[in-house]
């Protein structure tokens, strides 16, 4: 990764982190719009562009910004690693007390920065943008609504637009989170389960002017797998027996019920040796014992690791 960051930066009030991949056409307009927004609110700021291995002129365009504006910082990956890796790099290197993230495709409005920050001032740690009026085709909006509903149901966090790129964080939130894989979709979930206060506000959404979306249908399958990972890591890392033990007990109870049913029939003279349900009952008991044992082993590992770890304290 190439880096064009000042090794001794002053701390700006706001860091604007922008992950991007092949967005050379939209960058000049995005940059001018950001500068206008922060100038209107008189905000000390830095703009951290994270070039995720672009193959167009994105790197050269950002380099021109950087030469003429000391507030512009640039990180550049040698190849495409994905949005999560880009955000993590931006979070690691940003210096602002408030961190704003937005996409580089001009669909997020930089003038929403003041509204996001005003909501943070009400006592929240993360403010999520909600594209209430969305300028995208139904082939994109309908699956997105279904996805947001699924995440809300599983996570228990009631937000309308988990995947909106426009968000505001307090600095301690981004320094606490670790983003990898496709976890950027679940940043509000991870923050909420880490004890931070999360809310959302409606934000303006603009039609895409240049290029096309970088995300395809395959992201939904990977998203479900990543959501499973998030649920496990945030809810059950310190109590694995609650997950594996519950699954194990349910499996064992089903298996025992089947075996009791067959035993009653056997005492009544019904031959059960050739009945497939007998194998199912035994299998459910064995699987249940295995899950329960995995939970116990997880508890033992957690107990040993707890000696070296302590919960983070609120600053």
pLDDT tens digits, 259-307: 999 999 888 888 887 888 999 999 999 999 999 999 888 888 876 766 5
Nearest Cα to 202, choosing from 153, 169, 164, 148?
Answer: 164
User: Is residue 7 predicted with pLDDT exceeding 60?
Assistant: no
Q: What is the pLDDT of residue 125?
A: 96
- Given a cut of 90, whether residue 67 has pLDDT beyond it is yes
What's the mean pLDDT in 58-84?
93
In contact, 73 and 93? CB cutoff 8 Å: yes
Domain 2-236 top-level CATH class? alpha beta
Residues 81-103, mean pLDDT to the nearest whole number: 94
- Give the Cα separation of 313 and 310 in Å (integer): 9
Query: DSSP assignment, residue 198?
Result: E
Q: Which residues of 129-143 are buried (b: 16+ CB within 10 A; e: fewer)?
A: bbbeebeeeeeeeee
- Residues 6 or more apart whose CB falls under 8 angstroms from that of 222 comprise 182
Beta bridge partners of 46: 15
Q: What percentage of residues in the chain have a pLDDT greater than 90?
A: 55
**What pLDDT does 56 receive?**
93
Mean pLDDT over 112-132 rounds to: 95
Q: Note whether 34 and 10 are within 8 A (CB).
A: no
181-217: string of b/e by CB count within 10 Å (b at 16+)? ebbbbbbbbbbbbbebebbbbebbbeeeeeeeebeee
DSSP state of 232: I
- 132-170 pLDDT, tens digit each: 887 777 767 777 788 788 888 877 788 988 889 999 999
Condensed to tens digits (0 to 9), the pLDDT of residues 205-248 reads 888 777 666 555 556 666 677 777 777 776 777 788 888 899 99
CA distance linking residue 82 with residue 93, whole number of Å: 17
Contact partners, residue 98, CB within 8 Å, separation at least 6: 13, 14, 15, 117, 120, 168, 169, 170, 171
- Cα gap 223→151, rounded to integer Å: 10
Residue 33 confidence (pLDDT): 96
pLDDT of residue 219: 62
Report the first-to-last Cα separation within the chain, whole angstroms: 32
Does the pLDDT at position 310 exceed 50? no
Question: Which pTM was predicted?
Answer: 0.74
pLDDT of residue 315: 47
For the cut 50, the answer to whether the pLDDT of residue 177 exceeds it is yes
The larger pLDDT score, comparing residue 189 to residue 34, is at 34
Overall average pLDDT of the 67-95 stretch: 93
């Amino acid at each position: 990764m190439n880096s064009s960051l000042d090794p001794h930066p002053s701390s700006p009030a706001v860091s604007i982190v922008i992950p991007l991949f092949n967005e050379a056409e939209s960058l000049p307009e995005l940059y001018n719009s950001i500068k206008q927004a922060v100038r209107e609110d008189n905000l000390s700021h830095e703009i951290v562009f994270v070039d995720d291995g672009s193959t167009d002129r994105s790197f050269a365009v950002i380099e021109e910004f950087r030469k003429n504006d000391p507030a512009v910082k640039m990180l550049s990956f040698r190849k495409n690693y994905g949005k999560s890796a880009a955000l993590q790099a931006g979070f690691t290197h940003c210096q602002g007390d408030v961190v704003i993230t937005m996409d580089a495709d001009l669909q997020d409005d930089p003038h929403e920065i003041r509204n996001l920050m005003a909501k943070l001032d009400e006592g929240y740690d993360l403010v999520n943008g909600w594209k209430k009026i969305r300028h995208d085709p139904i082939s994109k909006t309908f699956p997105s609504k279904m996805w947001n509903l699924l995440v809300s149901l599983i996570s228990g966090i009631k937000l309308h637009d988990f995947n909106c790129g426009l968000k505001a964080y307090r600095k301690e939130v981004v320094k606490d989170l670790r983003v990898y894989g496709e976890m950027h979709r679940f940043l509000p979930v991870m923050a909420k389960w880490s004890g931070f206060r999360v809310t959302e506000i409606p934000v303006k959404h603009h039609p895409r002017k240049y290029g096309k979306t970088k995300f395809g249908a395959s992201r939904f399958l990977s998203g479900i797998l990543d959501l499973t990972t998030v649920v496990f890591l945030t809810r059950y890392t310190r109590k694995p027996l609650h997950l594996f033990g519950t699954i194990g007990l349910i499996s064992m109870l089903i298996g025992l019920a089947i075996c009791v049913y067959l035993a009653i029939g056997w005492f009544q003279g019904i031959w059960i040796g050739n009945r497939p349900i007998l194998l199912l009952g035994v299998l459910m008991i064995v699987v249940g014992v295995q899950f329960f044992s995995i939970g116990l082993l997880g508890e033992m590992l957690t107990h040993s690791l707890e000696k070296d770890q302590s919960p983070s304290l609120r600053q």
